[in-house]
Chain A
Amino acid sequence: MRDQKNILQNIDWVLVALFSVMVLIGWVNIYAAVYNEEHSSIFDLSQSYGKQALWIIGACILALMILVIDGKFYAAFSYAIYVVFILLLISTFAFSRDVKGSFGWIDIGAFKLQPAEFAKFATNMALAKYLSTLDIRMQDSRTKLISTLILGLPAVIILLQNDTGSALVFASFIFVLYREGLSGNILLLALVSVALFILALLVKNSTLIGILIGLALVFILMVRKNKRNIIVIVSGAIIAIGMVYSVDYVYNDVLQAHQRTRIDVLLGKELDLKGAGYNVNQSKIAIGSGGLFGKGFLQGTQTKYDFVPEQSTDFIFCTVGEEWGFMGSLVVIGLFMALLGRIIFVAERQRSQYSRIYGYGVASIIFFHLMINIGMTIGLAPVIGIPLPFFSYGGSSLWSFTILLFIFIKLDSYRLQILR
């Protein structure tokens, strides 16, 4: 066992470098997105980009603080931190202001804090803590139940605050559970369910059921010698058909009107370009007009002020696409892929289960944000307002992702001191 003399020793510099590059590119793009000729300094505090500079400095301080704190702290205090943030989430009902229809903000002086952002890493810690307990087996239904509770509690509270996007992020933990032994069938089932849901809305019920029965028959023919498999296939088909029917119910009676419209727009069922389809269409035009190499820094015409809404927060990727073209998109997505790959690589080298599970949580959350955020700007995912990690304007989002990632970096730098 080695002594840790310097907190910067053993740090995974690849992750730190990826983080720094992404934050800086994000900042430059926020500058371009809301560029104002009269306030052309990137440090002008009256503008979003000036404020973002402050958030970045704050994020660096936070990162340092996280690295200084003893590595044992995080695992030890996981549950406590989880409880604190759950309470903070609940308290938003009392202190929040209505921001764009959701209630998840707390005002602290001039700052607006969004506890939902911070609930992500707290939940990740609690889940990692629970699953790393000795004698836990993912196959036990008790384990599944408690894991679901840990994830479900913050998700439900956030859902009640009308912030569907942030609540859905908790679904991404299915990757963590899968990594820790959840049956691959469940992951497959989840993916198939999403596919069925979308198909059921796009294709007529009778057609879809016909296809399902056809598929079932083909499978039965293939495995006709094994009675057990036939039963599995038949019951699977029945469940699938039931789901197809229940989709109509969920779609019409459970979802709220604006959620329905967003799904409709995504699926191309409703082309309302002044209303819900407007954002997606505008963002596609902006990104599409970028071409191979883009229009150049500050030369974007579509993302500035008028056409694309929320251009510095949820639709920041439009600016990348418009001003830097396909090459810019390639770089940004490439950076994210590199980050996700590196996190998984680093997670796999952990001796402690806690650190590994936490690492997978980090990757899952970042992946989910990436998938939804970029997906919605190019019309491949519904418009649910969640930020692009490290890129979007906003203190809560930047800080929460910084904390999320740097706790993992700290855990990793500490790995050699842990005895298995």
Chain B
Amino acid sequence: MKLTRIEPLADNEITFTFDGKVISAASGDTIAAALLAAGVTATRHTPVNGSARAPFCMMGACYDCLVEIDGVAVQACMTEALPGLQVQRTTLSASIE
């Protein structure tokens, strides 16, 4: 999915990292918005079947946009993208047993 910004980033730009990769975002973006804007397709893979997922509802209801910050799973759509934040993909892979 490709998104476009209707307004230029200008001096509004901040950066954070996602799995070590630098992501540029507008100040005030949620992590979910910033990842989508940066062209990240799958933001996680499910622990059940390993299927690719990305933000879906953007309002904190579906839990499909889970990412990890400091080892805690958080909703990317409910978390502001702050400068310097280190965000990781959730580490849990499918089939735990």
Partners in one complex: no
Interface residues of A (CB under 8 A from B): none
Measured CB to CB, the residues of B under 8 A from A are none
